[in-house]
Amino acid sequence: MSFLLLVATLASLGPSWANPAQNAVVTKSVANLYSSPSEDADVVSQAIFGTNVVPFEERDDWVKVRTPDEYTGWMPLAALRRLGPGGRLYAAAGRVAQVESLAANLYREPDVTKHQPLLTVPFETRLEVTAEPAAHEGRWLQVLLPDDHPAWIQRGDVTFDTKPLTIKQTIELAKRFLGVTYLWGGTSSFGYDCSGFTQMLVRRRGVMMPRDADAQAAWKGLVPVKRNKPKPGDLLFFGSSPDHISHTGMYIGRGKFIHDTPHGHPGVQISRLADQPWARLLVACRRLK
Protein backbone atom coordinates (compact mmCIF):
# COMPACT_ATOMS: atom_id res chain seq x y z
CA MET A 1 0.00 0.00 0.00
CA SER A 2 1.34 3.44 -0.92
CA PHE A 3 1.90 6.06 1.77
CA LEU A 4 -0.86 8.33 0.40
CA LEU A 5 -3.32 5.44 0.28
CA LEU A 6 -2.42 4.49 3.87
CA VAL A 7 -3.04 8.05 5.07
CA ALA A 8 -6.36 8.18 3.24
CA THR A 9 -7.41 4.85 4.72
CA LEU A 10 -6.59 5.93 8.28
CA ALA A 11 -8.41 9.24 7.80
CA SER A 12 -11.52 7.42 6.64
CA LEU A 13 -11.63 5.54 9.95
CA GLY A 14 -12.11 8.76 11.89
CA PRO A 15 -9.91 11.40 13.51
CA SER A 16 -9.08 9.39 16.65
CA TRP A 17 -7.88 6.40 14.67
CA ALA A 18 -5.86 8.61 12.32
CA ASN A 19 -4.19 10.30 15.30
CA PRO A 20 -3.76 7.77 18.12
CA ALA A 21 -1.70 10.24 20.17
CA GLN A 22 -4.74 12.20 21.31
CA ASN A 23 -6.35 11.58 24.67
CA ALA A 24 -9.78 11.92 26.21
CA VAL A 25 -11.17 12.08 29.74
CA VAL A 26 -14.32 10.50 31.18
CA THR A 27 -16.95 13.09 32.16
CA LYS A 28 -19.65 10.76 33.54
CA SER A 29 -19.68 9.47 37.11
CA VAL A 30 -19.15 5.97 35.74
CA ALA A 31 -18.98 5.18 32.02
CA ASN A 32 -19.62 1.70 30.66
CA LEU A 33 -17.32 0.05 28.14
CA TYR A 34 -19.27 -2.16 25.73
CA SER A 35 -18.07 -5.03 23.57
CA SER A 36 -19.44 -3.26 20.48
CA PRO A 37 -20.80 0.23 19.73
CA SER A 38 -24.31 -0.32 21.05
CA GLU A 39 -26.01 -0.12 24.44
CA ASP A 40 -27.58 -3.48 23.56
CA ALA A 41 -24.08 -5.04 23.66
CA ASP A 42 -22.64 -6.56 26.83
CA VAL A 43 -20.73 -4.37 29.29
CA VAL A 44 -17.10 -5.51 29.49
CA SER A 45 -15.76 -2.96 31.98
CA GLN A 46 -16.11 0.63 33.19
CA ALA A 47 -14.11 3.82 33.65
CA ILE A 48 -14.84 6.34 36.41
CA PHE A 49 -15.06 10.12 36.28
CA GLY A 50 -11.77 11.83 35.45
CA THR A 51 -10.10 8.73 33.99
CA ASN A 52 -7.80 9.52 31.07
CA VAL A 53 -8.36 7.16 28.16
CA VAL A 54 -6.88 6.78 24.67
CA PRO A 55 -9.45 6.78 21.83
CA PHE A 56 -8.40 4.96 18.69
CA GLU A 57 -11.50 4.27 16.62
CA GLU A 58 -14.78 6.13 16.09
CA ARG A 59 -18.07 4.89 14.70
CA ASP A 60 -21.07 7.23 14.60
CA ASP A 61 -21.59 8.44 18.19
CA TRP A 62 -19.25 5.85 19.68
CA VAL A 63 -15.52 5.64 20.29
CA LYS A 64 -13.32 2.66 21.09
CA VAL A 65 -10.94 3.49 23.93
CA ARG A 66 -8.09 2.00 25.91
CA THR A 67 -8.18 2.49 29.69
CA PRO A 68 -5.09 2.83 31.95
CA ASP A 69 -5.20 -0.93 32.69
CA GLU A 70 -4.89 -1.63 28.93
CA TYR A 71 -8.53 -2.70 28.60
CA THR A 72 -10.44 -1.79 25.45
CA GLY A 73 -14.11 -1.27 24.75
CA TRP A 74 -16.66 1.00 23.15
CA MET A 75 -17.97 4.09 24.94
CA PRO A 76 -20.53 6.73 23.89
CA LEU A 77 -18.83 9.91 22.73
CA ALA A 78 -21.11 11.80 25.11
CA ALA A 79 -19.28 10.20 28.06
CA LEU A 80 -15.95 11.77 27.06
CA ARG A 81 -14.22 15.07 26.49
CA ARG A 82 -11.52 14.97 23.85
CA LEU A 83 -8.22 16.49 24.97
CA GLY A 84 -6.60 16.51 21.52
CA PRO A 85 -3.11 15.50 20.38
CA GLY A 86 -0.62 16.07 23.17
CA GLY A 87 -3.42 17.41 25.34
CA ARG A 88 -2.85 17.83 29.06
CA LEU A 89 -3.98 14.77 30.98
CA TYR A 90 -6.56 15.44 33.64
CA ALA A 91 -5.45 15.27 37.31
CA ALA A 92 -2.06 13.91 36.31
CA ALA A 93 -0.03 16.76 37.84
CA GLY A 94 -0.34 19.53 40.41
CA ARG A 95 -2.44 19.30 43.54
CA VAL A 96 -4.74 16.30 43.15
CA ALA A 97 -7.33 15.04 45.63
CA GLN A 98 -8.63 11.48 45.50
CA VAL A 99 -12.09 10.52 46.74
CA GLU A 100 -11.89 8.20 49.75
CA SER A 101 -15.61 8.05 50.52
CA LEU A 102 -17.59 5.34 48.75
CA ALA A 103 -19.43 8.21 47.04
CA ALA A 104 -18.89 11.98 47.10
CA ASN A 105 -21.05 14.88 45.95
CA LEU A 106 -19.72 17.76 43.88
CA TYR A 107 -21.50 21.10 44.29
CA ARG A 108 -21.64 24.37 42.35
CA GLU A 109 -20.88 26.31 45.56
CA PRO A 110 -19.60 25.42 49.06
CA ASP A 111 -23.04 24.68 50.48
CA VAL A 112 -25.06 21.46 50.65
CA THR A 113 -28.47 23.17 50.96
CA LYS A 114 -28.77 25.67 48.09
CA HIS A 115 -28.71 23.34 45.08
CA GLN A 116 -28.63 19.68 44.28
CA PRO A 117 -25.17 18.21 43.61
CA LEU A 118 -23.71 18.73 40.17
CA LEU A 119 -22.52 15.13 40.22
CA THR A 120 -21.92 12.20 42.55
CA VAL A 121 -18.58 10.49 41.95
CA PRO A 122 -17.26 7.14 43.21
CA PHE A 123 -14.31 6.05 45.34
CA GLU A 124 -10.88 6.70 43.77
CA THR A 125 -12.07 9.61 41.59
CA ARG A 126 -9.17 12.02 41.10
CA LEU A 127 -9.84 15.77 41.04
CA GLU A 128 -7.69 18.82 40.30
CA VAL A 129 -7.68 21.15 43.31
CA THR A 130 -7.70 24.88 42.53
CA ALA A 131 -8.44 26.40 45.95
CA GLU A 132 -7.57 24.86 49.29
CA PRO A 133 -8.40 26.98 52.35
CA ALA A 134 -6.62 26.03 55.55
CA ALA A 135 -8.40 23.23 57.38
CA HIS A 136 -9.41 25.53 60.26
CA GLU A 137 -11.01 27.95 57.78
CA GLY A 138 -13.54 25.55 56.38
CA ARG A 139 -14.35 22.08 55.16
CA TRP A 140 -14.51 22.82 51.41
CA LEU A 141 -12.09 22.43 48.51
CA GLN A 142 -12.57 23.96 45.09
CA VAL A 143 -11.79 21.68 42.16
CA LEU A 144 -11.64 22.03 38.40
CA LEU A 145 -13.67 19.47 36.48
CA PRO A 146 -12.58 17.93 33.15
CA ASP A 147 -14.97 20.29 31.32
CA ASP A 148 -13.08 23.26 32.86
CA HIS A 149 -15.97 24.18 35.17
CA PRO A 150 -15.34 24.71 38.89
CA ALA A 151 -16.99 22.68 41.62
CA TRP A 152 -16.74 22.24 45.38
CA ILE A 153 -16.23 19.08 47.40
CA GLN A 154 -16.10 18.52 51.14
CA ARG A 155 -12.62 17.97 52.51
CA GLY A 156 -13.75 14.90 54.48
CA ASP A 157 -14.58 13.06 51.23
CA VAL A 158 -11.02 13.13 49.86
CA THR A 159 -7.43 12.38 50.68
CA PHE A 160 -4.09 13.64 49.46
CA ASP A 161 -2.26 10.66 50.98
CA THR A 162 -2.40 7.92 48.32
CA LYS A 163 0.70 5.94 49.22
CA PRO A 164 0.49 2.14 48.73
CA LEU A 165 -1.33 0.22 51.46
CA THR A 166 0.02 -2.64 53.53
CA ILE A 167 -1.75 -6.01 53.45
CA LYS A 168 -3.43 -5.22 56.79
CA GLN A 169 -4.60 -1.84 55.51
CA THR A 170 -5.85 -3.46 52.28
CA ILE A 171 -7.97 -5.93 54.23
CA GLU A 172 -9.38 -3.08 56.33
CA LEU A 173 -10.18 -1.20 53.13
CA ALA A 174 -11.86 -4.24 51.58
CA LYS A 175 -14.24 -4.52 54.53
CA ARG A 176 -15.45 -0.96 53.94
CA PHE A 177 -17.16 -2.27 50.79
CA LEU A 178 -19.18 -5.00 52.51
CA GLY A 179 -22.69 -4.84 51.09
CA VAL A 180 -21.76 -2.89 47.95
CA THR A 181 -23.75 -4.48 45.14
CA TYR A 182 -22.40 -6.88 42.54
CA LEU A 183 -22.42 -5.45 39.02
CA TRP A 184 -21.19 -7.35 35.97
CA GLY A 185 -18.39 -5.31 34.38
CA GLY A 186 -18.34 -2.99 37.39
CA THR A 187 -15.16 -1.22 38.46
CA SER A 188 -16.47 1.37 40.93
CA SER A 189 -17.91 1.69 44.41
CA PHE A 190 -21.31 2.04 42.73
CA GLY A 191 -20.92 -1.66 41.87
CA TYR A 192 -17.96 -3.99 41.27
CA ASP A 193 -17.71 -7.42 39.72
CA CYS A 194 -15.34 -9.95 41.28
CA SER A 195 -12.22 -9.09 39.30
CA GLY A 196 -12.95 -5.36 39.35
CA PHE A 197 -12.98 -5.57 43.15
CA THR A 198 -9.71 -7.48 43.48
CA GLN A 199 -8.07 -5.29 40.84
CA MET A 200 -8.96 -2.24 42.93
CA LEU A 201 -7.54 -3.82 46.10
CA VAL A 202 -4.25 -4.65 44.38
CA ARG A 203 -4.16 -1.18 42.80
CA ARG A 204 -4.37 0.32 46.29
CA ARG A 205 -1.24 -1.65 47.11
CA GLY A 206 0.46 0.30 44.33
CA VAL A 207 0.26 -2.28 41.53
CA MET A 208 -1.79 -2.24 38.33
CA MET A 209 -3.07 -5.75 37.66
CA PRO A 210 -5.02 -7.04 34.61
CA ARG A 211 -8.77 -6.55 34.59
CA ASP A 212 -10.24 -10.06 34.21
CA ALA A 213 -9.95 -12.96 36.66
CA ASP A 214 -8.39 -15.42 34.20
CA ALA A 215 -5.83 -12.82 33.08
CA GLN A 216 -5.07 -12.01 36.71
CA ALA A 217 -4.37 -15.66 37.54
CA ALA A 218 -1.98 -15.92 34.58
CA TRP A 219 -0.30 -12.56 35.25
CA LYS A 220 3.46 -12.63 35.87
CA GLY A 221 3.13 -10.11 38.69
CA LEU A 222 1.68 -12.88 40.86
CA VAL A 223 3.38 -16.09 41.99
CA PRO A 224 1.64 -19.44 42.63
CA VAL A 225 0.92 -20.48 46.21
CA LYS A 226 -0.32 -23.85 47.47
CA ARG A 227 -4.07 -23.73 47.75
CA ASN A 228 -4.02 -25.12 51.28
CA LYS A 229 -1.48 -22.55 52.52
CA PRO A 230 -2.82 -19.07 51.66
CA LYS A 231 -1.78 -16.03 53.64
CA PRO A 232 -3.76 -12.81 54.17
CA GLY A 233 -3.65 -10.70 51.02
CA ASP A 234 -3.34 -13.67 48.64
CA LEU A 235 -5.73 -13.81 45.70
CA LEU A 236 -7.94 -16.86 45.28
CA PHE A 237 -9.24 -18.05 41.92
CA PHE A 238 -12.26 -20.24 41.35
CA GLY A 239 -13.62 -22.14 38.37
CA SER A 240 -14.23 -25.52 36.81
CA SER A 241 -10.46 -25.96 36.26
CA PRO A 242 -7.24 -23.90 36.29
CA ASP A 243 -7.86 -23.22 32.61
CA HIS A 244 -11.45 -22.06 33.18
CA ILE A 245 -11.36 -19.44 35.93
CA SER A 246 -14.58 -17.51 36.49
CA HIS A 247 -14.29 -15.91 39.95
CA THR A 248 -11.75 -14.35 42.31
CA GLY A 249 -11.46 -12.96 45.83
CA MET A 250 -8.87 -12.05 48.46
CA TYR A 251 -7.93 -14.24 51.44
CA ILE A 252 -8.20 -12.37 54.76
CA GLY A 253 -7.11 -15.12 57.18
CA ARG A 254 -8.71 -17.75 59.45
CA GLY A 255 -10.15 -19.64 56.52
CA LYS A 256 -12.09 -16.65 55.20
CA PHE A 257 -11.97 -14.54 52.05
CA ILE A 258 -13.66 -11.38 50.84
CA HIS A 259 -15.14 -11.15 47.37
CA ASP A 260 -17.87 -9.57 45.27
CA THR A 261 -20.25 -12.24 44.03
CA PRO A 262 -23.81 -12.70 42.75
CA HIS A 263 -23.98 -15.95 44.77
CA GLY A 264 -26.52 -15.77 47.57
CA HIS A 265 -27.02 -12.12 48.45
CA PRO A 266 -25.30 -10.25 45.56
CA GLY A 267 -22.51 -7.99 46.69
CA VAL A 268 -19.23 -7.77 48.57
CA GLN A 269 -19.24 -10.37 51.33
CA ILE A 270 -17.01 -12.57 53.45
CA SER A 271 -17.18 -16.32 52.87
CA ARG A 272 -15.47 -19.40 54.30
CA LEU A 273 -13.17 -21.41 52.05
CA ALA A 274 -14.42 -24.63 53.63
CA ASP A 275 -17.99 -23.93 52.52
CA GLN A 276 -19.52 -24.96 49.22
CA PRO A 277 -19.35 -24.14 46.42
CA TRP A 278 -16.02 -22.42 47.18
CA ALA A 279 -14.14 -25.48 48.49
CA ARG A 280 -15.03 -27.37 45.32
CA LEU A 281 -14.31 -24.49 42.93
CA LEU A 282 -10.99 -23.20 44.31
CA VAL A 283 -8.40 -23.92 41.61
CA ALA A 284 -5.52 -21.47 42.24
CA CYS A 285 -3.94 -19.20 44.82
CA ARG A 286 -1.60 -16.33 43.92
CA ARG A 287 0.59 -13.89 45.86
CA LEU A 288 1.81 -10.48 44.76
CA LYS A 289 5.53 -10.50 44.08
> Are residues 66 and 117 both part of a single domain?
no
218 lies in some domain: yes
What whole-number distance in Å separates Cα of residue 183 and Cα of residue 267? 8
Which tens digit of pLDDT belongs to each residue from 62-98?
999 999 999 999 999 999 999 866 678 999 999 999 9
Predicted local distance difference test score (pLDDT) of residue 134: 74
119 lies in some domain: yes
CA angle 99, 104, 107 (to 5 degrees): 115
What range does the domain containing 112 cover? 96-159
Predicted local distance difference test score (pLDDT) of residue 4: 36
> Are residues 59 and 145 both part of a single domain?
no
CATH number of the domain that 42 lies in? 2.30.30.40
> Are residues 221 and 283 both part of a single domain?
yes
Predicted local distance difference test score (pLDDT) of residue 83: 86
Predicted local distance difference test score (pLDDT) of residue 1: 39
Which tens digit of pLDDT belongs to each residue from 93-144?
999 999 999 999 999 999 999 999 999 999 999 999 999 887 667 899 999 9
Number of domains in the chain: 3
Q: What is the mean pLDDT of residues 188-203?
A: 98
15 lies in some domain: yes
What whole-number distance in Å separates Cα of residue 7 and Cα of residue 2? 9
> Are residues 277 and 184 both part of a single domain?
yes
91 lies in some domain: no
Q: What is the mean pLDDT of residues 170-176?
A: 98
C-beta separation of 74 from 41 below 8 A: yes
C-beta separation of 183 from 148 below 8 A: no
